[in-house]
């Protein structure tokens, strides 16, 4: 069942009922100021940090769901309704929500009045702009009252939801003309305030929640709106809000547009006050002046659209299947940008007050983002690397505002350092910017202790070599990619952390997954060493990788698939000898991606085992059989009920490793089949089962052991976004930058016979045409009319347009017969 449809020309998803199975959200903002917005206008906004600089309040895990937003109420005679349905929930004659790229348009119609609200954050602006259009569709004149409403968060979202003894007495506001200023704590150490204004004279306003709502009314019927009378209240403590009332008289057919701005304003300390006790509002006035007319707003919307069209033109494909094209060209790269911006901080599943930026996560997010805005990827790499410890290990997380490592969690996730190599390699392949390797980057943010970025990579690689276990495999530490496989933390108490109760420190548990990751990044690291002038190191690196690959085949192979790990007692994890958890997805993916056992046939065997044992109609589960009881020696993985999360859920993050692995052995049909099972656009038709947005990846889909098999959780902020993009665009469609050129090596399924593609990279444009009759033989390439050996198209100079014709699986020449 669907709850809307894709509008590919507009690059929008059109939701046609407000009653989606769960809130379906979108993100506003591209750089520093962000908003989350649901299909009914729910959500909140913040400047840079969702915990420390939150402008509006949101109530997570509430009943009903999705409470808190930027709401508009229309009073039409005795009638009272909202264009987004919530919070009044009055039936609409017509409803539509269009989630577009960094904007959302919600339209409601009732009794001959249409209200359309466009929400966006203009480029380079720290504010949400809401363009509200009211139109009289009837043949009678109408006299409406429009009430706006936001509830301010007292900046620190954690404190805001916990510390009532203090924060019910701190709230302050000011009203000047049609602008409401939220100035709580400005009197002390804050140099920032919020402004919520409209470009029209007011018939009234409210800034005190109780005055506006009435103490016992719900959001659906604020007393001021119900009575059609604002209180002109000035908040003093309690809960500051912003509500404007505007009288709108409309002749038949007439339309009126209002512009609301909800912004963040920061003053330099020395310019904090206009005069003693008077907040300096000059910057706010400048902001409002930029969006005081509809014309200005329309221009800013056009600019935002162009911005996105430009970004997306970097990779665009036409396969003949709109579901593939809309994922690859629009929604997946869009999701990559969102994930890159938010890391794992603010979604409808992450409250924005918890986790910082993950070292591992951020490096992987980069893989799907780097081609969109490489300069920002560069900056991110340097930030991440600066949190690395001198011994090559890494803080597991760091805080975006301070860019400092997070001490609560610390380090010891032994896969972390290797992801830095993966991220940096992707950046250099995309840009050719070897200069980044020479940048001086501190260790642990200590300016006294710096090394080149290349030195950081060297220590990452070295860290694995210096931490090998009894079988010569990498020690796992607190966990590897699977945060819940905690082989050195035996947690017996509910109040202990699974990851940081490291009571088996010095343990010898080993990870086959890290071994695979090590062998996978080694060639890139070796190439980078060579390019940086360390040929000897490159040679040694390749030897270490070969040794590790042999070790994996010797001690990490279970007979039919790769083992997952050795636990604290040296017992196998992910072996047919185990009672439960006999086979895991991660090592099958990464070892094959690394090329381990490809020549010897292990790869094919391992992937066949995945197919028979782990595949389901909704994707590949993490392991089988699921753990049915808690196993202290394995940790959090066995804490979840079977089928959820890391206990045999479908982790959408690691499925793409299997897709890529399938392309390594040339099985495009299987790779594509796995991809289709997860790709949101392909799951759109089962939205009642999947329940989350049909345009954003989710972290997890419940596995076959769960009663709710097929139901997704945790959409948007997940490594699934970047990895699925990498799998489909770079390995199945098969176009990816490498150090020496653009690799064009499609591994397509039978159902995609031909495609055309434009890839812009390093200033040149590659126009690629692929025709295929299957994946039986290596693709044959003709570049600018000349056949080439292999599938690497050499880099062309900036400004060049290169045509590439590719024929797969057929003996005739690529330029013959169309």
Tokens coding 144? 């409406």
Q: How far is CA 130 from CA 229, 263, 431, in A?
A: 23, 11, 37
Residue 732 interacting partner from ligand NOJ, ligand BGC, none (CB closer than 5 to 8 Å by kind): none
Is residue 197 near ligand BGC by the rule CB under 6 A? no
483 is catalytic: yes
Contact with ligand BGC (CB under 6 A) among 484, 603, 678, 727 = 484
Is residue 564 near ligand NOJ by the rule CB under 6 A? no
Q: Edge-to-edge strands of the sheet including 764-772?
A: 315-318, 754-761, 764-772, 801-808, 780-783, 786-788
The pattern of x and - marking residues 354 through 373 that bind ligand BGC according to CB under 6 A reads -x------------------
624-663 binders of ligand BGC (CB under 6 A): 636, 645-646
Contact with ligand NOJ (CB under 6 A) among 527, 646, 693, 805 = 646
Task: Return the range that interacts with ligand NOJ (CB under 6 A); candidates 356-364, 450-458, 499-507, 741-749.
Answer: 356-364
CB 688 within 8 A of CB 704: no
CA distance 541 to 524: 10
Q: Which helix (H) or strand (E) holds 583?
A: strand 583-584
Is residue 344 near ligand NOJ by the rule CB under 6 A? yes
Is residue 483 near ligand BGC by the rule CB under 6 A? yes
Return the percent helix, strand and coil in the chain, to nearest 5: 30, 30, 40
In the bound state with ligand BGC, the residue whose beta carbon lies nearer, of 167 and 393, is: 393
Tokens coding 357? 């930026």
CB 537 within 8 A of CB 500: no
CA distance 343 to 336: 10
306-365 binders of ligand BGC (CB under 6 A): 355
Give Cβ neighbours of residue 435 (< 8 Å, ≥ 6 apart): none
In the bound state with ligand BGC, the residue whose beta carbon lies nearer, of 502 and 636, is: 636
Q: Max Cα separation, the chain?
A: 84
Contact with ligand NOJ (CB under 6 A) among 350, 361, 422, 502 = 361
Strand partners, 28: 35
Give Cα 535 to chain centroid, integer Å: 37
CA distance 787 to 689: 48
Instruction: Write down the least CB distance from residue 483 to ligand BGC, Å.
Output: 4
Cβ atoms within 10 Å of 360's Cβ, excluding its own: 24
CB 144 within 8 A of CB 113: yes
Contact with ligand NOJ (CB under 6 A) among 360, 463, 613, 618 = 360
Angle at the Cα of 488 from the Cα atoms of 483 and 493, rounded to 5 degrees: 85
Give Cβ neighbours of residue 533 (< 8 Å, ≥ 6 apart): none
Report how many residues bind ligand BGC under the rule CB under 6 A. Answer: 6
CA distance 148 to 70: 8
CA distance 560 to 603: 9
Task: Return the range that interacts with ligand NOJ (CB under 6 A); candidates 115-123, 125-133, 353-361, 799-807.
Answer: 353-361
Among candidate residues 614, 609, 596, the one with its CA nearest the CA of residue 651: 614
Residue 155 interacting partner from ligand NOJ, ligand BGC, none (CB closer than 5 to 8 Å by kind): none
In the bound state with ligand NOJ, the residue whose beta carbon lies nearer, of 128 and 350, is: 350
Q: How far is CA 292 from CA 28, 32, 242, 259, 297, in A?
A: 20, 22, 18, 7, 8
In the bound state with ligand BGC, the residue whose beta carbon lies nearer, of 456 and 653, is: 653
Report how many residues bind ligand NOJ under the rule CB under 6 A. Answer: 10
Q: Which residue is nearest to ligand NOJ (CB)?
A: 483
The pattern of x and - marking residues 711 through 740 that bind ligand NOJ according to CB under 6 A reads --------x---------------------
Please tell me which residue in 361, 365, 415, 483 is annotated as part of the active site. Answer: 483
Q: Which helix (H) or strand (E) holds 782?
A: strand 780-783
Q: How far is CA 575 from CA 558, 572, 598, in A?
A: 6, 6, 20
In the bound state with ligand BGC, the residue whose beta carbon lies nearer, of 83 and 719, is: 719
CA distance 46 to 36: 9
In the bound state with ligand BGC, the residue whose beta carbon lies nearer, of 205 and 490, is: 490
Is residue 365 near ligand NOJ by the rule CB under 6 A? no
In the bound state with ligand NOJ, the residue whose beta carbon lies nearer, of 109 and 361, is: 361
In the bound state with ligand NOJ, the residue whose beta carbon lies nearer, of 103 and 651, is: 651
In the bound state with ligand BGC, the residue whose beta carbon lies nearer, of 116 and 636, is: 636
Q: Compute the half-sphere exposure of residue 72: CA atoms within 13 Å on the CB side of its CA.
A: 27
Instruction: Write down the least CB distance from residue 426 to ligand NOJ, Å.
Output: 17
Instruction: Write down the least CB distance from residue 714 to ligand BGC, Å.
Output: 8
Residue 358 interacting partner from ligand NOJ, ligand BGC, none (CB closer than 5 to 8 Å by kind): ligand NOJ
The pattern of x and - marking residues 476 through 495 that bind ligand NOJ according to CB under 6 A reads -----xxxx-----------
Strand partners, 273: 279
Q: Which residues bind ligand BGC (CB under 6 A)?
A: 355, 483-484, 636, 645-646
User: Which residues of the chain form contacts with ligand NOJ (CB under 6 A)?
Assistant: 344, 358, 360-361, 481-484, 646, 719
Q: Which residues are annotated as catalytic? A: 483
């Amino acid at each position: 069942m669907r709850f809307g449809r894709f509008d590919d020309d507009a690059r929008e998803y059109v939701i046609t009922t407000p009653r989606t199975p769960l809130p379906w959200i979108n993100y506003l903002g591209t750089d520093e100021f962000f908003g989350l917005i649901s299909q009914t206008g729910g959500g909140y906004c913040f400047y840079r940090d969702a915990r420390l600089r939150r402008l509006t309040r949101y109530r997570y895990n509430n009943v009903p769901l999705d409470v808190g937003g930027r709401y508009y109420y229309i009073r039409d005679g005795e009638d009272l309704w909202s264009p987004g349905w919530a919070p009044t929930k009055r039936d609409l004659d017509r409803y539509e929500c269009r989630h577009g790229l960094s904007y959302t348009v919600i339209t409601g119609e009732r009794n001959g009045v249409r209200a359309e609200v466009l929400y966006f954050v203009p480029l380079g602006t720290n504010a949400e702009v809401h363009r509200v259009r009211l139109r009289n569709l009837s043949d009678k004149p109408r006299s409406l009252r429009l009430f706006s409403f936001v509830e301010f968060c007292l900046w620190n979202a954690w404190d805001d939801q916990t510390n009532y003894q203090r924060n019910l007495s701190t709230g302050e506001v000011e009203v000047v003309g049609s602008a409401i200023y939220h100035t709580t704590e400005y009197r002390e150490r804050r140099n920032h305030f919020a402004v919520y204004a409209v470009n029209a004279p007011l018939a009234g306003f409210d800034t005190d929640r109780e005055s506006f709502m009435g103490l016992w009314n719900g959001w659906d019927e604020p007393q001021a709106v119900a009575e059609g009378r604002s209180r002109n209240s000035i908040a003093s403590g309690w809960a500051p809000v912003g509500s404007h009332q505007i009288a709108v008289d409309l002749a038949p057919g007439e339309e009126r547009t209002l512009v609301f701005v909800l912004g963040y304003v920061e003053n330099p300390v020395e310019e904090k006050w206009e005069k003693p006790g008077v907040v300096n509002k000059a910057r706010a006035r400048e902001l409002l002046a930029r969006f005081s007319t509809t014309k200005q707003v329309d221009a800013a919307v056009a600019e935002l659209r162009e911005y996105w069209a430009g970004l997306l033109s970097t990779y665009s494909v036409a396969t003949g299947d709109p579901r593939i094209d809309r994922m690859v060209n629009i929604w997946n790269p869009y999701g990559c940008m969102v994930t890159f911006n938010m890391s794992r901080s603010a979604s409808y599943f992450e409250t924005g007050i918890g986790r910082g930026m993950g070292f591992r996560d951020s490096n992987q997010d980069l893989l799907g983002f780097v081609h969109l805005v490489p300069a920002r990827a560069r900056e991110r790499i340097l930030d991440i690397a600066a949190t690395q410890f001198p011994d090559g290990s890494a803080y597991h997380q760091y805080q975006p505002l301070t860019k400092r490592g997070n001490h609560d969690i610390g380090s010891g996730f032994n896969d972390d350092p290797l992801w830095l190599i993966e991220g940096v390699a992707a950046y250099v392949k995309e840009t050719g910017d070897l200069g980044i390797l020479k940048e001086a980057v501190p260790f642990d943010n200590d300016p006294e202790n710096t090394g080149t970025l290349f030195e950081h990579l060297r220590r990452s690689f070295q860290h694995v070599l210096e931490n090998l276990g009894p079988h010569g495999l990498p020690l796992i530490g607190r966990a590897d990619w699977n945060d819940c496989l905690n082989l050195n933390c035996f947690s017996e108490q509910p109040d202990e952390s699974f990851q940081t109760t490291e009571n088996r420190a010095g343990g010898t548990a080993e990870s086959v997954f890290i071994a695979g990751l090590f062998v996978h990044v080694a060639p890139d690291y070796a190439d980078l060493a060579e390019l940086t002038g360390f040929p000897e190191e490159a040679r040694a690196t390749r030897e270490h990788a070969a040794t590790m690959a042999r070790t994996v085949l010797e001690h990490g192979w279970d007979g039919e698939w790769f083992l997952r790990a050795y636990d604290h007692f040296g017992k196998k994890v992910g072996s047919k000898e185990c009672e439960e958890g006999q086979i895991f997805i991660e090592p099958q993916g990464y070892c094959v991606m690394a090329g381990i056992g490809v020549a010897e046939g292990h790869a094919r065997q391992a992937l066949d085992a995945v197919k028979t044992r782990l595949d389901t109609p909704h994707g590949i589960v993490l392991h089988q059989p699921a753990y049915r009881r808690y196993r202290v020696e394995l940790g959090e993985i066995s804490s979840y009920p079977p089928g959820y999360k890391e206990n045999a859920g479908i982790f959408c993050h690691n499925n793409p490793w299997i897709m890529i692995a399938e392309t390594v052995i040339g099985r495009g049909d299987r790779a594509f089949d796995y991809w289709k099972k997860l790709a949101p656009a392909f799951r759109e038709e089962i939205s009642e089962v999947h329940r989350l947005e049909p345009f954003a990846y989710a972290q997890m889909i419940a596995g076959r052991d769960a009663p709710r098999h097929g139901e997704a959780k945790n959409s948007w902020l997940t490594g699934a976004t970047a990895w699925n993009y990498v799998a489909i665009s770079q390995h199945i469609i098969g176009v990816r930058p490498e150090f020496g050129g653009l690799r064009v090596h499609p591994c397509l399924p039978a159902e995609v016979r031909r495609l055309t593609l434009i890839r812009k990279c390093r200033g040149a444009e590659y126009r690629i045409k692929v025709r295929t009759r299957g994946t039986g033989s290596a693709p044959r390439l003709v570049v600018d009319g000349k056949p080439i050996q292999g599938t690497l198209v050499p880099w062309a100079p900036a400004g060049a347009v290169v045509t590439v014709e590719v024929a797969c699986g057929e003996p005739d020449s690529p330029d013959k017969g169309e």
